[in-house]
Amino acid sequence: MVERNQNTTGLQSNVGGLLAYLAGWITGLIFYLLEEKDEFIRFHAMQSIVTFGFLTVVHIFLGFLQWIPYIWVLFLIIQILVGIFTFVLWIVLMVKAYQSQRFKLPVAGDLAERYSAPRPH
C-alpha cells in the first residue's frame, strides 16, 4: 500500500507541485503560503515564484523598451523569444513536478531548496 504524504493542502505531492506552476508565480505564492508540511510542494512553489516572477519582470521591462524609436522591433523579437522560452519552461516544470521529479533550475532551484523547508508550528 502506497502511503500518502501528509500535507496541509490535502493534495498528493505531485499534483500540488504541478498546480504550483499552473498560473506562474501567483499559484506558486498561493501554494507556498498554504502548504506548511510538504517540502516537495513548497520547493516547486518557491521555484515557481522565483522563476516566473523574474520572467514576468523581464517581459514587462522588454515591453517598456519597445517605446525606443528605431530599435523597438529588436526588443519585440526578444520579447517574443522570451515568451516562447517561458511557455516551454512552464510545460517542462509542470510535467516534471507531476512525475514527482525535483527538477531543479540553476539559480531558482538553489533558492527554492533554501526556502522550502517545512514551516515550524
Is 4 a residue whose pLDDT tops 90? no
Model confidence band, residue 89 (pLDDT cutoffs 50, 70, 90): very high
Cell of 73: 522591433
Give, in order, the Cα–Cα distances in Å from 83 to each of 10, 27, 79, 87: 33, 19, 6, 6
Distance CA 97, CA 76 (A): 31
Provide the pLDDT for residue 118. 80
Q: How far apart are the first and last CA of the chain?
A: 29
Is 1 a residue whose pLDDT tops 60? no
Mean pLDDT of 87-105: 96
Model confidence band, residue 120 (pLDDT cutoffs 50, 70, 90): confident
Provide the pLDDT for residue 116. 86
Can you give the residue ranges of every domain in the chain? Answer: 13-110
DSSP state of 8: S
pTM comes to 0.88
DSSP state of 11: S
Distance CA 71, CA 88 (A): 27
SS3 call for 70: coil
Provide the pLDDT for residue 17. 95
Cite the beta strand spans of 1-121 per DSSP E: none
